């Protein structure tokens, strides 16, 4: 590695960000490129999860259908959930954490650039690992929640659960790496003057997300390790015949799983808290309340896990506690919704595509929130849980919420990331298709659930009255798919034909709009000083008009971290390790030994790789730091 | 979301309109609905549901209304002056924190009351039924009468039914929408649920916790009967046990050697106390056809008897397959998979793996004629 870097420097090659070619991507530690790698992975897996959803909808369009076999259906719904949560929505948030947070806080990179690269490689490899089961007709099939004791070797003897359990374990490493990184980045790398209570709301919500990741993921890690011991080493943590307890899994899973819900939604809260003010031309209403309601939601999020378990019969005291704690969350969530409406209220609304999606988010999220309060009530939940009512509820939160928010972010920051504006007309078509398709798909699910259709069924009999609504939902799913096809066409078309976008196309309020699009590797030639909450609006107001278009600069004297392939090498050891474990009955411990050796080899080289070069005179060119 | 052109405005009307049409559809079109409760527990749940729906609708209309109004009212044009820069308003923010809190109190108070009602089986003279979830069927046992049946739970109208529930293998969930809602069942703990049926009839329920490949085909029926009819049913069930042509203990042992776990073969062996002597008795009158005799023989030879008991009274515990003592009279086979017609039953016996892929019952190579005989034999068990 060192020779590569030195070689470049010795020959005076241009700074890394202007380099092209596969190698520059493989070795990148630039947070913006890492973001794009997250984006490519997330988009791929999102399309995969979407195709799984369409297959599910085709199967359910008719009663007693046999478009797919029961075992494939179970793989489909398991992988749809796993994919959308861990491989689509979480990494889509990572796109914006990576790309936008350093820009918003006026930093040149993240605190640990190589750890960042490690995170994205682990995510990509982990995503492929989970999906590898499809190649062996052994994709995970026990649900994204993997309830014990169905996951025990007695009832799931195949590799299906192994792919799921180890895949999640790998992905957890990626999430934890990112969480540590952005936690430190946000605490330590803010521009001078950007006090905590001046941070953009997206940074705040991301910060809270990092805390949730740091506290929630260790729990699922432990649960998955216990499951691994049950499946590989003959323990009985969750096996009742050996004295274990399946309900322990449910507690562990939901202590992780409920905060996970906020990990999925808080970044979207942050995104629309940026979009709504900009397109209302008015600051965010009740900034402090927005911060503290976010903190409060996250805090309460750790005390409500058992509301996923009302039907287990925990008794009246536990039911009451978890019910009331869950209802409490509605208060800070309500505060957020009111503050968003307060932001729009009295503004001068420009209904551009990002704004449409942000408004769509608020409208749909209200529905998801209200149905959430309905099953916070345990007796009512005894009817609703494990039915399509719940499927409707969490799609209103995760699709109507998270996805609408993330799409808003995509349209909003696209010009910053790629230097091109997406087409407005196509964007609006996308919005309306998505809004109509979404409601057509998911609204009837409320009624289906209330009328008695359970979740996770590969088919349903004739005569229960489920036919018509299921048909409607399938149509809706294809309308939704069409919406995303329009988005992809928009990307393709503008990529080829759109003129370069200005640095600040939306009259933005935050620092990322003060630099060229796309930004240069070092983001800010000079670290800006911040004196208020909407620094760019402040600057424009002082100047009495728009700022001059920022110029690209040479970057002389700016220290940036050196590229490295050791994060990728180290990342490879994780899927290898678990593959070795899965094959250990056939090949003995050799796979594991090789993987561990690779892990140490990777870490060792990573640690001792020179991050500063000592060759005089070239330090300022590409430079090294951190 | 009433934005933009006339077309989109028309489109957005469609959604609530469709919803109304669907809601308006009668409950009778949805025989498994939660919205037409027919017992006390389901009514408690339904009342609470409507309490939350009422408040949710109010909040929905006000908040979505405010949002839509704001979108119309404050839509800007290019060149508009910068709007007034408001950063917040403490009084307004306190108000919209307190009001939702008050609404939540309105929901929380009836919720907590209902939680305690729901968790306590009403006093009186409940009929206890043990429910055991299996992959993928339901076993019902009446400890009071030492009776066992499968996939069809017969109960008297008007009496509280107290369910003591467990699972044989993995976690399932017993869901009876019209009477009780649902409760999970576990292999290592007892959970409880209660209900009462107000009117005679057949009601459907099904497993609600994902439990493996055939989770979708794990339904059951509740047959609610007037008390006198229920007593008649009980007497009948007790009587068919003494008449039934149950297999001898020896043949159970040998024929079950093909498949199962140690547990069930031992239990099946010690199972039907008087069965050996019963089989010596003359078959019931309707069981005299040659098909029936042939079917009985096949039932032993093909190994059916390894997993299925034909005794309802004091039936052995831990059998892998559903009790068949009254299978001839049930309305469905395969836990709600097929209506119980002769053709369906024959098809099911021959090709269980095609009908319900992954079910524990293997394809046993039963021929068409053999299936006919088995159907004739099973039809005598009503």
Q: How far is A558 from chain B (nearest CA, A)?
A: 37
pLDDT at residue B11 in the model: 54
Q: Give the residue from A521, A413, A414 showing the smallest Cα distance to A24.
A: A521
Interface test mutation site (partner B, options A382, A437, A463, max chain B beta carbons within 10 A): A382
Alpha carbon of residue A260 to chain centroid: 10
pLDDT tens-place string over residues A134-164 = 999 999 999 999 999 999 999 999 999 999 9
Task: Tell if the CB–CB gap between A311 and B75 is shorter than 8 Å.
Answer: no
Q: How far is A341 from chain B (nearest CA, A)?
A: 6
The domain limits of chain A are 2-6+32-187+199-544
**Which of A240, A330, A469 lies nearest to residue B100, judging by beta carbons?**
A330
Bond from prior residue into B136 cis (ω within 30 degrees of 0): yes
Q: Which A-chain residues 278-307 have CB contacts (< 8 A) with chain B?
A: 280-289
**Which of A280, A351, A386 lies nearest to residue B182, judging by beta carbons?**
A386
pLDDT tens-place string over residues A571-605 = 999 999 999 999 998 999 999 999 999 999 999 99
CB contacts, 8 Å: A371 with chain B? 56
Task: Tell if the CB–CB gap between B67 and A328 is shorter than 8 Å.
Answer: no
Task: Tell if the CB–CB gap between A142 and B210 is shorter than 8 Å.
Answer: yes
Other beta carbons within 10 angstroms of residue A615's beta carbon come to 10
Q: C-alpha angle with apex B84: B80 to B87, nearest 5 degrees? A: 140
Q: Is the pLDDT of residue A428 over 60?
A: yes
Please give the CATH topology (third level) of the domain spanning A2-6+32-187+199-544: Cytochrome C Oxidase; Chain A (1.20.210)
**Which of A285, A327, A453 lies nearest to residue B107, judging by beta carbons?**
A327
Start-end ranges of CATH 1.10.287.90 in chain B? 6-77+89-119
Q: What is the mean pLDDT of chain B?
A: 84
Task: Tell if the CB–CB gap between B67 and A363 is shorter than 8 Å.
Answer: yes
Band of pLDDT at residue A18, cut at 50, 70 and 90: low
Band of pLDDT at residue A610, cut at 50, 70 and 90: confident
**Which of A362, A456, A465 lies nearest to residue B30, judging by beta carbons?**
A465
What is the pLDDT averaged over residues B102-118?
Answer: 95
CATH of domain B6-77+89-119: 1.10.287.90
CB contacts, 8 Å: B48 with chain A? 377, 379-380
Q: Is the pLDDT of residue A405 over 80?
A: yes
Q: Is the pLDDT of residue B259 over 50?
A: no
pLDDT at residue B9 in the model: 54
Q: Is the pLDDT of residue A567 over 50?
A: yes
pLDDT at residue A562 in the model: 87
CB contacts, 8 Å: A280 with chain B? 74, 83
Cβ-contact A284, A343 below 8 angstroms? yes
**Which of A315, A452, A458 lies nearest to residue B32, judging by beta carbons?**
A452
Measured CA distances, A348 to A201, B84, B184 (Å): 20, 9, 52
E strands within B79-227?
A: 127-134, 137-142, 147-150, 152-156, 160-167, 172-176, 181-185, 191-196, 201-207, 219-225
CB contacts, 8 Å: A366 with chain B? 59-60, 63-64, 67
Task: Tell if the CB–CB gap between B74 and A150 is shorter than 8 Å.
Answer: no
Tell me the ipTM for this assembly: 0.91
Cβ-contact A463, B339 below 8 angstroms? no
Interface test mutation site (partner B, options A441, A454, A506, A545, max chain B beta carbons within 10 A): A454
Six token digits for residue A556? 């002389």
Cβ-contact A426, A489 below 8 angstroms? yes
Interface test mutation site (partner A, options B39, B170, B261, B353, max chain A beta carbons within 10 A): B170
Task: Tell if the CB–CB gap between A320 and B115 is shorter than 8 Å.
Answer: yes
Start-end ranges of CATH 2.60.40.420 in chain B? 242-379
Query: Can you give the length of chain B in residues?
Result: 382
Which pTM was predicted? Answer: 0.90
Q: Which A-chain residues 370-409 have CB contacts (< 8 A) with chain B?
A: 370-371, 373-374, 376-380, 382-387
**Which of A328, A356, A374 lies nearest to residue B56, judging by beta carbons?**
A374
Alpha carbon of residue B147 to chain centroid: 20
What is the pLDDT averaged over residues B307-325?
Answer: 90
Task: Tell if the CB–CB gap between B22 and A444 is shorter than 8 Å.
Answer: yes
* Residues of A with catalytic roles: 80, 109, 144, 174-175, 258, 260, 262, 273, 307-308, 333, 336, 455
pLDDT tens-place string over residues A84-110 = 999 999 999 999 999 999 999 999 999
Cβ-contact B62, B121 below 8 angstroms? no
Band of pLDDT at residue B171, cut at 50, 70 and 90: very high
Q: Which residue reads 């241009």 in tokens?
A: A14
pLDDT at residue B334 in the model: 93
Band of pLDDT at residue A560, cut at 50, 70 and 90: confident
Task: Tell if the CB–CB gap between A345 and B35 is shorter than 8 Å.
Answer: no
pLDDT at residue B329 in the model: 92
**Which of B111, B169, B192 lies nearest to residue A155, judging by beta carbons?**
B169
Band of pLDDT at residue B14, cut at 50, 70 and 90: low
Task: Tell if the CB–CB gap between B208 and A439 is shorter than 8 Å.
Answer: no
pLDDT at residue B195 in the model: 96
CA atoms of A203 and A308, how far apart (whole Å): 30
Measured CA distances, B115 to B83, B225, B301 (Å): 50, 29, 52
**Residue A463 at interface with chain B, using a CB cutoff of 8 Å:** yes
- The DSSP annotation for B361-381 comes to SPP----HHHHHHHHHHHHT-
pLDDT tens-place string over residues A193-236 = 999 999 999 999 999 999 999 999 999 999 999 999 999 999 99
pLDDT at residue A1 in the model: 33
Nearest chain B residue to A276 by CA distance is B71
Q: Which A-chain residues 232-251 have CB contacts (< 8 A) with chain B?
A: 240-241, 245-247
Q: Is the pLDDT of residue B131 over 60?
A: yes
CB contacts, 8 Å: B53 with chain A? 374
3-class DSSP string for A157-214: CCCHHHHHHHHHHHHHHHHHHHHHHHHHHHHHCCCCCCCHHHCCHHHHHHHHHHHHHH
Superfamily of domain B242-379: Cupredoxins -  blue copper proteins (2.60.40.420)
Task: Tell if the CB–CB gap between A379 and B183 is shorter than 8 Å.
Answer: no
Cβ-contact A475, A418 below 8 angstroms? no
Alpha carbon of residue B56 to chain centroid: 29
Q: Is the pLDDT of residue A41 over 90?
A: yes
pLDDT tens-place string over residues B191-217 = 999 999 999 999 999 999 999 999 999
């Amino acid at each position: 590695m060192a020779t590569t870097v030195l070689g470049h420097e010795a020959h005076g090659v241009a700074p890394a960000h202007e380099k092209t070619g596969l190698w520059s991507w493989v070795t990148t530690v630039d947070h913006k490129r890492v973001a794009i790698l997250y984006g490519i992975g997330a988009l791929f897996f999102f399309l995969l999860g979407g195709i799984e959803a369409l297959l599910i909808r085709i199967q359910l369009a008719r009663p007693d259908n046999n478009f797919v076999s029961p075992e494939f259906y179970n793989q489909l719904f398991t992988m749809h959930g796993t994919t959308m949560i861990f491989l689509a929505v979480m990494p889509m948030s990572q796109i914006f954490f990576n790309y936008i947070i350093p820009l918003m806080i006026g930093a040149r990179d993240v605190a640990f650039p190589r750890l960042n690269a490690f995170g994205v490689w682990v995510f990509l490899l982990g995503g492929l690992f989970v999906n590898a089961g499809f190649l062996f007709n052994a994709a995970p099939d026990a649900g994204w929640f993997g309830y014990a004791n169905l996951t025990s070797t007695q009832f799931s003897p195949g590799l299906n659960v192994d792919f799921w359990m180890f895949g999640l374990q790998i992905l957890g490493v990626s999430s934890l790496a990112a969480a540590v990184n952005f936690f430190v980045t946000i605490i330590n790398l803010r521009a001078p003057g950007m006090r905590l209570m001046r941070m953009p709301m997206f940074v705040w919500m991301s910060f809270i997300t990092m805390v949730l990741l740091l506290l929630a993921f260790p729990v699922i890690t432990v649960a998955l390790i216990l499951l691994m011991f049950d499946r590989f080493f003959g323990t009985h943590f969750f096996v009742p015949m050996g004295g274990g307890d399946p309900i322990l899994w449910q507690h562990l899973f939901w202590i992780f799983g409920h905060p996970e819900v906020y990990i999925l939604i808080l970044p979207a809260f942050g995104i629309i808290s940026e979009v709504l003010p900009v397109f209302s031309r008015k600051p965010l209403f009740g900034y402090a309340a927005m911060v503290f309601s976010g903190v409060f939601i996250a805090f309460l999020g750790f005390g409500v896990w058992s509301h996923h378990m009302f039907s287990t019969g925990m008794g009246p005291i536990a039911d009451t506690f978890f019910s009331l704690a869950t209802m409490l969350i509605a208060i800070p969530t309500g505060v957020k919704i009111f503050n968003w409406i307060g932001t729009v209220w009295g503004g001068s609304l420009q209904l551009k595509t990002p704004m449409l999606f942000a408004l769509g988010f608020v409208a749909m999220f209200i529905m998801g929130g209200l149905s959430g309060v309905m099953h916070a009530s345990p007796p009512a939940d005894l009817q609703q849980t494990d039915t399509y009512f719940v499927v409707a509820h969490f799609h209103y939160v995760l699709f109507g919420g998270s996805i609408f928010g993330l799409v808003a972010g995509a349209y909003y920051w696209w010009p910053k990331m790629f230097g091109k504006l997406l087409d407005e007309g196509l964007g609006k078509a996308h919005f309306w298709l998505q809004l109509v398709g979404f409601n057509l798909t998911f609204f009837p699910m409320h009624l289906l659930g209330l009328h008695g259709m359970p979740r996770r069924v590969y088919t349903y009999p004739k005569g229960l009255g489920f036919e018509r609504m299921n048909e409607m939902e399938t149509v809706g799913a294809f309308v939704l798919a069409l919406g995303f096809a329009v988005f992809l066409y928009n990307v393709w078309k503008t990529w080829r034909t759109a003129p370069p976008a200005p640095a600040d196309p939306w009259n933005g309020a935050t620092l990322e709009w003060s630099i060229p699009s796309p930004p240069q590797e070092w983001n800010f030639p000079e670290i800006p000083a911040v004196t208020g909450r909407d620094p760019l609006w402040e600057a424009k107001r002082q100047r009495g008009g728009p700022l001059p278009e920022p110029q690209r600069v040479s970057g002389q004297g700016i220290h940036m971290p050196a590229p490295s392939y050791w994060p990728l090498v180290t990342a490879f050891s994780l899927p290898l390790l678990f593959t070795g474990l899965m094959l250990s009955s056939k090949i003995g411990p050799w796979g594991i030994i090789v993987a561990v050796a690779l892990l140490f080899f990777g870490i060792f080289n990573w640690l001792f790789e020179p991050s500063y070069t000592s060759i005089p005179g070239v330090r300022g060119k590409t430079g090294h730091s951190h | 979301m009433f934005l933009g052109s006339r077309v989109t405005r028309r489109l957005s009307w469609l959604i609530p309109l469709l919803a109304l049409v669907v809601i308006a559809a009668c409950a009778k079109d949805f025989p498994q609905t939660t919205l037409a409760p027919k017992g006390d527990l389901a009514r408690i749940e339904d009342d609470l549901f409507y309490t939350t729906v009422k408040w949710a609708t109010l909040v929905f209309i006000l908040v979505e209304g405010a949002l839509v109004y704001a979108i119309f009212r404050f839509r800007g044009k290019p060149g508009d002056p910068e709007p007034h820069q408001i950063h917040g308003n403490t009084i307004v923010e306190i108000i919209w924190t307190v009001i939702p809190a008050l609404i939540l109190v309105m929901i929380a108070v009836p919720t907590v009351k209902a939680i305690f009602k729901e968790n306590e089986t009403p006093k009186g003279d409940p009929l206890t039924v043990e429910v055991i979830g299996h992959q993928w069927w339901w076993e019902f046992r009446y400890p009071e009468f030492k009776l066992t049946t499968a996939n069809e739970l017969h109960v008297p109208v008007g009496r509280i039914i107290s369910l003591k529930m467990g699972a044989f293998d993995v976690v399932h969930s017993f869901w009876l929408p019209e009477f009780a809602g649902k409760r999970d069942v576990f292999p290592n703990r007892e959970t409880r649920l209660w209900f009462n049926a107000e009117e005679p009839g057949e009601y459907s329920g099904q497993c609600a916790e994902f439990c493996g490949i055939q989770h979708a085909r794990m339904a059951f029926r509740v047959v609610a009967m007037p008390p006198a009819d229920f007593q008649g049913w009980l007497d009948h069930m007790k009587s068919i046990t003494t008449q039934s042509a149950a297999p001898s203990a020896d043949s159970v042992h040998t024929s079950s050697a093909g498949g199962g776990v140690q547990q069930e073969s031992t239990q099946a062996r010690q199972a039907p106390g008087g069965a050996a002597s019963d089989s010596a008795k003359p078959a019931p009158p309707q069981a005299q056809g040659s098909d029936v005799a042939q079917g009985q023989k096949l039932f032993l030879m093909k190994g059916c008897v390894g997993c299925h008991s034909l005794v309802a009274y004091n039936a052995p515990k831990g059998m892998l397959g559903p009790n068949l003592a009254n299978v001839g009279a049930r309305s469905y086979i395969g836990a709600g998979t097929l209506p119980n017609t002769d053709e369906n039953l024959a098809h099911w016996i021959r090709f269980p793996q095609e009908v319900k892929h992954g079910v524990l019952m293997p394809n046993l190579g039963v021929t068409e004629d053999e299936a006919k005989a088995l159907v004739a034999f099973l039809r005598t068990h009503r």
